[in-house]
A and B are shown apart, each in its own frame.
Chain A
Amino acid sequence: MGEQTNVRIVEDAALTSTKDLPSQWIAVCMGTGCVSSASAEVRQALIQELERHGLSSQVEVRRTGCFGFCAAGPIVVIHPDETFYTRVTPADVKDIVEQHILANRRVERLMYRDPVTKVPIEKWYEIGFYSKQQRIVLHNCGIIDPENIDHYLAREGYQALHKVLSEMTPDQVIDEVIRSGLRGRGGGGFPTGLKWKITRQTPRWPKYVICNADEGDPGAFMDRSTLEGDPHSVIEGMIIAAYAIGARYGYIYCRAEYPLAIHRLQVALDQARQRGFLGGNIRGFDFSFDLYIKEGAGAFVCGEETALMASIQGDRGNPWPRPPYPAVSGLWGQPSNVNNVKSYAYVPHIIRLGADWFKQLGAPDNPGTAIFALTGMVNNTGLIEVPMGITLREIIYDIGGGIPDGRKFKAVQTGGPLGGCLPEAYLDTPVDFDSLCAAGAVMGSGGMIVADETTCMVEFAKYFMRFACDESCGKCPPCRIGSTRMLETLECITAGLGTLEDLDYLRYLANGMQKGSLCALGQLAPSPVMSALRHFEDEFRAHIEERRCPAGKCHALITYEIIADLCTGCMVCARNCPTNAIRGEKRQPHVIDPALCERCGLCKELCKFDAIVVR
């Protein structure tokens, strides 16, 4: 984001040059989130309005990547004063130009307000959501126009590549990445430099460099945002990786559901090629490399590296057993290096600022930042980049602004459908690969989903199991059939038909899947259920032994009731019940017929007197 911000965050870093930026400009977020809430129209209106006032040459309207705070989008930031406007519509544009640009008065109604004090907040980085963030991968998102390579170049873009080609041998590059301690951001946390080294050492050519931009975790959109907001950083990282391992060609495997990311990537590739950063003899050096986009059809399992390569080959996206690992035998049987989008995006920074700079960020053995899509029962949802080692509590309460409506926190799930949930007692766990793993969750590459007291943990676990069932590739029996049996068992429990043996059966199935499955999908798919069972066994037992859902969520186990004393007989509920399950005379207490009630909860929502309760 803004100049001051970056200085504030990474004080010793030279990441902050803003040369060539006009003094007054308006950033309009054109990430997928804001585009879907009509930011393109806002941008168009801004351009027209400025033109109308003859300001086109003084004020630049710039399309930028994602600010992360998509729930409050469309986001517009006025520079240089960095005023952060949320939920901007084309109708607001007149005020922004006439008040803010012309009269230098902020448009208060568009400013973000502190959720507690309701005071409008001026600068974006004073907002709680950004308070503890540290943007390295996302440092250009919201600043540069991703479709303009000059913007990237103005922010030290391709300097790392130049340094590599002019000053460093491939082995020196690998050593630097190893020394930096960078670990893969695709979820596993494997040391990136080491992977490069093995790929370099395998004496077979051609070799390939592959970027994993499949991003199949439900709710995750950090890779998308990186590609949409700063595609050149990923491309530069890949070129450096190619130089280090000795690859001539590379692929970016991006899901076809990311049309904007693919478009921006394509524009960036074309521009990089035009400027000689890709193609034969890059920048006149004796090194050639080119990159292609391969669109994936959106199967979660195609994010698994071997399935991903099968898919690039045009085969069914099924995983292959490892070993041999891709570094030895990957795409078309050739040595291939697969890294996540973010892993590549760190590389230019590491090369330019040095391994020592990177090492001191984040936590020991876990240098750098972590990027999460924070969702679920928190006040502020969105994309966050935080230093490794920050605690779950800081993320949920300081950045996320806590649980809405003062409800109680129950659990937080990290690592998406292959991760685990952690209860309140673990809130002070540092967020890094090793600590999360030790706590029984995983870093993963995905969402951080917060559950509160209104979340049923059986239902929560079942959601992830259903996802795994739907996304299992079907190749191996433990996952294909085991996940189905686990889901069926969970469905039994939430339907009030469970037995205590079902809990043992779940554990048995989980163990079999972990031991027997081919790929990490099947091996880890039981984790959400097992961690829920470990931390919230009481809740499972309540479903079974008492036929009760403590969170009041499982339809088969709850009833809606009207408290006669509170009911005024206004008839709103009766009129709106889709199954006509509510009877009663006007101004007389109403009753719900449990046989007709479908437990949709509409009546409870509509009752103005809080007379309807769940039991």
Chain B
Amino acid sequence: MTVTLTINGQKVTTAEGSTILEAARSAGIYIPTLCHHPDLSNVGACRICVVEVVGARNLQTACTTPIAEGMVVYTDSEIVRATRRFVLEMLLSDHPNDCMTCEVSGDCELQDLVYDYGVKWPEHKGKRHNWEIDPDPNPFVFIDRNKCILCGRCVRACAEIQNRDVWNFAHRGFRTKLVAGADQFMLDARCESCGQCVAYCPVGALYDKMSLGKGRANQVQKVRTTCSYCGVGCNFDLNVRDGRIVRVTSAPDAPVNGMALCVKGRYGYDYVHHPDRLTAPLVRARWLQGVEEKLKGGEWQVFVPQGNGRDGGDGSDHLTVTPDTFIQTDWDTALDVVARKFAEEKRLHGSGAFGMLASAKCTNEENYLFNKFARQILGTNTIDHCARL
């Protein structure tokens, strides 16, 4: 069933049960929002999306008002604009004047609206909140309640997407405070540090702690990637500045996961630039031939673990190569060694000597190939997978 209504003089036909906001967006008509997010339930809290509905007693919020046949809506009339401006003025009257150094400057829904509606940061004698900044020991989530506009997106993201119900509001009126659990630390309130709440915060009240001061939206390049941790295949954007990953942000159009990520995908990227990270195959010297030459020729290197005190800082010449020394080789050499050893094992001890453990970090296809390799090439049924439990 469809319903036809008129928005700003334009006839719009859309599915029954839609909201005014959905109807307007389907027709390409822009209505600003703050507390609304398409992934979350609508609560009508922020009042930014108010529109004029002919015949209604008061302005209505587009994000919550169901459409009706013959409805006549104005989304940008003077009274609508004035009311939005008033809401923004009120929000700014209890907001720090901190866009200069704010992490999300340039990527802030409030800042954009304040700009669009020409609202100035007001000086006044009245109260502004002065909450402690970053009071929570959660290693990943940074909180600055002074910037919180109480839109409740984090509350709903945590409850509706992550099903953890960590956040809610305590107290009433001007004293309303975003709290975890019963005003506890996040980790004591069932938080699993997935960062969904951060991802949905329209302002800089919740931010990724590891990324503080590392680069704002206009200073980073976003690189879409697939998470390397498990086979689900979540997509997200690496925020890269000067060749280094400084943050992970959700990609709303990610086909598998949308905005959602787990703690590993969102915050587990520090290994990427870690000095201990292995970036080339290592083979013990005893399995290789012509080690001396290749080392001299610079094709291979002696592997020196970081921070073990052996590399006096003056080059690898002084290192003695024993049969146990790890040599950093190339993939072909390393795989040849593996193939040779597999064949030898099979000849000497038979297929029963093999046990294979597959990884959840691989895709289904990779795991399928792994199983084929085990059964058909190696000839063993002793296969297991770390995600079997």
Judge whether A518 is part of the interface by a CB distance below 8 angstroms. Answer: yes
Instruction: Check B86 against A480 for contact (C-beta < 8 Å).
Output: no
CB distance from B251 to the nearest CB of A (A): 30
Which of chain B's residues have a CB closer than 8 A to the CB of A470? 172-173
Instruction: Check A478 against B87 for contact (C-beta < 8 Å).
Output: yes
CB distance from B72 to the nearest CB of A (A): 15
Closest A residue to B61 by beta carbon equals A321
Instruction: Check A473 against B172 for contact (C-beta < 8 Å).
Output: yes
Instruction: Check B44 against A321 for contact (C-beta < 8 Å).
Output: yes
- Interface mask (A447-482 → B, CB under 8 Å = 1, otherwise 0): 000000000000000000000011111111110111
Judge whether A517 is part of the interface by a CB distance below 8 angstroms. Answer: yes
State A121–B176 Cα separation when bound (angstroms): 53
Instruction: Check B44 against A481 for contact (C-beta < 8 Å).
Output: no
Instruction: Check B174 against A515 for contact (C-beta < 8 Å).
Output: no
Judge whether A48 is part of the interface by a CB distance below 8 angstroms. Answer: no
Decide: A474 near B176, CB < 8 A? Known: A321-B44, A488-B126, A512-B83: yes
Closest A residue to B59 by beta carbon equals A515
CB distance from B173 to the nearest CB of A (A): 4
Instruction: Check B66 against A477 for contact (C-beta < 8 Å).
Output: no
Instruction: Check A321 against B65 for contact (C-beta < 8 Å).
Output: yes
Closest B residue to A324 by beta carbon equals B66
Instruction: Check A516 against B125 for contact (C-beta < 8 Å).
Output: no
Judge whether B50 is part of the interface by a CB distance below 8 angstroms. Answer: yes
Judge whether B175 is part of the interface by a CB distance below 8 angstroms. Answer: yes
CB distance from B168 to the nearest CB of A (A): 7
Instruction: Check B172 against A477 for contact (C-beta < 8 Å).
Output: no
Which of chain A's residues have a CB closer than 8 A to the CB of B79? 515
Which of chain B's residues have a CB closer than 8 A to the CB of A563? none
Instruction: Check B172 against A481 for contact (C-beta < 8 Å).
Output: no
Instruction: Check B173 against A515 for contact (C-beta < 8 Å).
Output: no
Decide: A516 near B44, CB < 8 A? Known: A484-B174, A485-B126: no
> Which of A321, A474, A488, A514 lies in contact with B64, CB distance below 8 A?
A321
Instruction: Check A485 against B172 for contact (C-beta < 8 Å).
Output: no
| Number of B positions contacting A (CB below 8 A) | 38
Judge whether A323 is part of the interface by a CB distance below 8 angstroms. Answer: yes
State A320–B61 Cα separation when bound (angstroms): 11
Which of chain B's residues have a CB closer than 8 A to the CB of A517? 47
Instruction: Check A480 against B173 for contact (C-beta < 8 Å).
Output: yes
> Which of B45, B93, B172 lies in contact with A472, CB distance below 8 A?
B172
> Which of A323, A471, A492 lies in contact with B173, CB distance below 8 A?
A471
Instruction: Check B47 against A474 for contact (C-beta < 8 Å).
Output: no
Closest A residue to B65 by beta carbon equals A323
State A475–B150 Cα separation when bound (angstroms): 7
Which residues of chain A in 503-541 are interfacial with respect to chain B, using CB atoms and an 8 Å cutoff?
511-512, 514-518, 523
Instruction: Check B86 against A469 for contact (C-beta < 8 Å).
Output: no
Judge whether A414 is part of the interface by a CB distance below 8 angstroms. Answer: no
Instruction: Check B126 against A477 for contact (C-beta < 8 Å).
Output: no
Instruction: Check B87 against A299 for contact (C-beta < 8 Å).
Output: no
Instruction: Check A471 against B172 for contact (C-beta < 8 Å).
Output: yes
State A483–B172 Cα separation when bound (angstroms): 12
Judge whether A407 is part of the interface by a CB distance below 8 angstroms. Answer: no
Instruction: Check A474 against B172 for contact (C-beta < 8 Å).
Output: yes
State A474–B46 Cα separation when bound (angstroms): 11
CB distance from A262 to the nearest CB of B (A): 23
Which of chain A's residues have a CB closer than 8 A to the CB of B168? 316
Which of chain B's residues have a CB closer than 8 A to the CB of A515? 50, 58-59, 79, 82-83, 86
> Which of A316, A320, A476, A483 lies in contact with B47, CB distance below 8 A?
A476
Closest A residue to B79 by beta carbon equals A515
Instruction: Check A485 against B90 for contact (C-beta < 8 Å).
Output: yes
Instruction: Check A481 against B43 for contact (C-beta < 8 Å).
Output: no
Which of chain A's residues have a CB closer than 8 A to the CB of B93? 481, 485
Instruction: Check A516 against B87 for contact (C-beta < 8 Å).
Output: yes
Which of chain B's residues have a CB closer than 8 A to the CB of A483? 173-174
CB distance from A580 to the nearest CB of B (A): 33
State A346–B202 Cα separation when bound (angstroms): 49
> Which of B50, B66, B94 lies in contact with A516, CB distance below 8 A?
B50
Which of chain A's residues have a CB closer than 8 A to the CB of B66? 323-324
Which residues of chain B in 157-213 are interfacial with respect to chain A, using CB atoms and an 8 Å cutoff?
168-169, 171-176
State A523–B57 Cα separation when bound (angstroms): 11
Which residues of chain B in 61-120 are interfacial with respect to chain A, using CB atoms and an 8 Å cutoff?
61, 64-66, 79, 82-83, 86-87, 89-91, 93-94
Judge whether B234 is part of the interface by a CB distance below 8 angstroms. Answer: no
Which of chain A's residues have a CB closer than 8 A to the CB of B82? 515
State A28–B11 Cα separation when bound (angstroms): 68
Which of chain B's residues have a CB closer than 8 A to the CB of A514? 58
Instruction: Check A474 against B90 for contact (C-beta < 8 Å).
Output: no
Instruction: Check A481 against B47 for contact (C-beta < 8 Å).
Output: no
Closest A residue to B126 by beta carbon equals A488
Instruction: Check A516 against B47 for contact (C-beta < 8 Å).
Output: yes
Which residues of chain B in 21-48 are interfacial with respect to chain A, using CB atoms and an 8 Å cutoff?
43-47
Which residues of chain A in 21-37 are interfacial with respect to chain B, using CB atoms and an 8 Å cutoff?
none
State A320–B59 Cα separation when bound (angstroms): 15
Instruction: Check B59 against A492 for contact (C-beta < 8 Å).
Output: no
State A474–B176 Cα separation when bound (angstroms): 6
Which of chain A's residues have a CB closer than 8 A to the CB of B65? 321, 323
Instruction: Check A474 against B150 for contact (C-beta < 8 Å).
Output: yes
CB distance from B153 to the nearest CB of A (A): 13
State A316–B50 Cα separation when bound (angstroms): 23
Instruction: Check A469 against B47 for contact (C-beta < 8 Å).
Output: no
CB distance from A322 to the nearest CB of B (A): 9
Decide: A488 near B174, CB < 8 A? Known: A321-B44, A478-B47, A481-B93: no
> Which of B64, B86, B175, B176 lies in contact with A478, CB distance below 8 A?
B86
Instruction: Check B46 against A481 for contact (C-beta < 8 Å).
Output: no
> Which of A474, A475, A482 lies in contact with B171, CB distance below 8 A?
A474
Instruction: Check B83 against A474 for contact (C-beta < 8 Å).
Output: no
Instruction: Check A477 against B46 for contact (C-beta < 8 Å).
Output: yes
Judge whether B246 is part of the interface by a CB distance below 8 angstroms. Answer: no
Instruction: Check A478 against B90 for contact (C-beta < 8 Å).
Output: yes
> Which of B43, B61, B86, B125 lies in contact with A512, CB distance below 8 A?
B86
Closest A residue to B149 by beta carbon equals A477
Which of chain A's residues have a CB closer than 8 A to the CB of B171? 474
CB distance from A452 to the nearest CB of B (A): 31
Which residues of chain A in 273-315 are interfacial with respect to chain B, using CB atoms and an 8 Å cutoff?
299, 301
Judge whether B347 is part of the interface by a CB distance below 8 angstroms. Answer: no
> Which of A471, A480, A488, A511 lies in contact with B125, CB distance below 8 A?
A488
Instruction: Check B173 against A320 for contact (C-beta < 8 Å).
Output: no
Which of chain A's residues have a CB closer than 8 A to the CB of B340? none
CB distance from B232 to the nearest CB of A (A): 32
Closest A residue to B88 by beta carbon equals A477
Which of chain A's residues have a CB closer than 8 A to the CB of B169? 316, 474
Instruction: Check A516 against B174 for contact (C-beta < 8 Å).
Output: no
CB distance from B354 to the nearest CB of A (A): 56
CB distance from B121 to the nearest CB of A (A): 14
State A137–B59 Cα separation when bound (angstroms): 36
State A478–B149 Cα separation when bound (angstroms): 12
Which of chain A's residues have a CB closer than 8 A to the CB of B273? none
Judge whether B127 is part of the interface by a CB distance below 8 angstroms. Answer: yes
Instruction: Check A477 against B43 for contact (C-beta < 8 Å).
Output: no
Instruction: Check A469 against B173 for contact (C-beta < 8 Å).
Output: yes
Which of chain B's residues have a CB closer than 8 A to the CB of A480? 90, 150, 173-174, 176
Which of chain B's residues have a CB closer than 8 A to the CB of A469? 173-174
Instruction: Check A516 against B176 for contact (C-beta < 8 Å).
Output: no
29 A-B pairs with C-beta separation under 8 A: A320-B43, A321-B61, A321-B65, A323-B65, A324-B66, A469-B174, A473-B172, A473-B173, A474-B175, A475-B150, A475-B152, A475-B176, A476-B45, A476-B46, A477-B46, A477-B149, A478-B90, A483-B173, A484-B126, A484-B127, A485-B90, A488-B127, A492-B125, A512-B83, A512-B86, A512-B90, A515-B50, A515-B83, A518-B61
CB-based closest 8 A-B pairs: A474-B176, A321-B44, A512-B86, A472-B173, A481-B90, A321-B64, A488-B126, A484-B174
Q: Which residues of A are at the interface with B, using a C-beta cutoff of 8 A?
A: 299, 301, 316, 320-321, 323-324, 469-478, 480-485, 488, 492, 511-512, 514-518, 523
A476-B46, A478-B87 are known contacts; what are 7 more A-B pairs with Cβ within 8 Å? A324-B66, A475-B150, A476-B47, A480-B176, A485-B93, A485-B124, A516-B83
